[in-house]
């Protein structure tokens, strides 16, 4: 299933989505993961501050981190994210390194980096499902986060389950039509 786009876009934008049904038996190689985070690395950012930070737990390679991220998730997310071979957190450095002042764009730029990561994943047949449903406090505690580093998202990364092989309830959620607001709802003044 591809995203039902209204205007021509690169294939990767048709392919990117956030699945619930992951293939629990298919691991993600180190090389693949490096490429995902490399894409994030080249995002744009205010003053090129690159405020994005990540915590990355890989099943079988860094199980303690995987379990830590899992533990921060709300129940509704644990339910499906337990099948993802990689669980990560996306965090932002809230202050500029060059002058210590608050970076108004920290969360914005983390979003840019994480979108890049998700698009690189989509191009590789992988998927990233980002979640707001996790405990920021628990993350702060478990990973002993320094002041000024703010967790914003949890992420499940892996291969989506092949249709018909995943858990029924999750596949049902994945088969819902993908919807977006119309372009003219996003553009509130001016136009093309």
- What 8-state DSSP symbol labels residue 22? B
Give me the half-sphere count of Cα atoms (radius 13 Å) on the Cβ side of residue 162: 3
- Shortest distance, CB of residue 130 to a copy of itself, whole angstroms? 6
CB-CB neighbours of 121 under 10 Å? 26
From candidates 20, 52, 70, 134, binder to a copy of itself by CB under 8 A = 52
Q: Please answer whether residues 162 and 19 qualify as being in contact, where contact means their C-beta atoms are separated by less than 8 angstroms.
A: no
Q: For residues 61 and 138, which CB has a smaller minimum distance to a copy of itself in the complex?
A: 61
CB-CB neighbours of 22 under 10 Å? 26
- Shortest distance, CB of residue 67 to a copy of itself, whole angstroms? 11
Q: For residues 42 and 165, which CB has a smaller minimum distance to a copy of itself in the complex?
A: 42
The position carrying tokens 């003053």 is: 47
Give me the half-sphere count of Cα atoms (radius 13 Å) on the Cβ side of residue 74: 9
**140 in contact with a copy of itself (CB under 8 A):** no
From candidates 23, 26, 27, 62, binder to a copy of itself by CB under 8 A = 62
Alpha-carbon torsion, ordered 189, 17, 15, 184, to 10 deg: -10
- Shortest distance, CB of residue 8 to a copy of itself, whole angstroms? 5
Q: For residues 38 and 162, which CB has a smaller minimum distance to a copy of itself in the complex?
A: 38
From candidates 60, 75, 177, 192, binder to a copy of itself by CB under 8 A = 192
**What mask, x for binding a copy of itself by CB under 8 A, covers residues 160 to 189?**
-------------------xxx-x--xxxx
Give me the half-sphere count of Cα atoms (radius 13 Å) on the Cβ side of residue 22: 26
**Considering only residues 65-84, where is the footprint of a copy of itself by CB under 8 A?**
65-66
**Cα–Cα separations (whole angstroms), residue 61 to 4, 23, 25, 51, 149:** 37, 17, 14, 26, 25
Q: Please answer whether residues 120 and 114 qualify as being in contact, where contact means their C-beta atoms are separated by less than 8 angstroms.
A: no
- Shortest distance, CB of residue 162 to a copy of itself, whole angstroms? 22
From candidates 26, 78, 108, 140, binder to a copy of itself by CB under 8 A = 108
Q: For residues 137 and 165, which CB has a smaller minimum distance to a copy of itself in the complex?
A: 137
- Shortest distance, CB of residue 110 to a copy of itself, whole angstroms? 6
């Amino acid at each position: 299933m591809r995203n039902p786009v209204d205007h021509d876009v690169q294939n990767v934008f048709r392919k990117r989505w956030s699945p619930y049904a992951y293939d629990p038996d298919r691991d993600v190689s180190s090389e693949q993961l490096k490429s995902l985070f490399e894409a994030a690395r080249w995002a744009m950012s205010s003053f090129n501050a690159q405020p994005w930070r990540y915590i990355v737990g890989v099943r079988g390679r860094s199980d303690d981190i995987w379990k830590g991220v899992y533990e921060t998730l709300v129940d509704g997310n644990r339910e499906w994210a337990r099948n993802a071979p990689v669980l990560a957190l996306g965090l932002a450095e809230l202050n500029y390194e060059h002058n210590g002042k608050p970076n108004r764009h920290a969360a914005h730029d983390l979003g840019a980096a994480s979108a890049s990561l998700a698009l690189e994943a989509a191009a590789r047949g992988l998927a990233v499902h980002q979640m707001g449903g996790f405990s920021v406090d628990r993350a702060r505690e478990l990973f002993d986060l320094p002041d000024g580093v703010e967790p914003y998202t949890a992420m499940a990364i892996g291969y989506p389950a092949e249709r018909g092989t995943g858990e029924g309830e999750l596949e049902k959620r994945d088969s819902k039509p993908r919807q977006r607001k119309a372009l003219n709802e996003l553009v509130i003044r001016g136009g093309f």
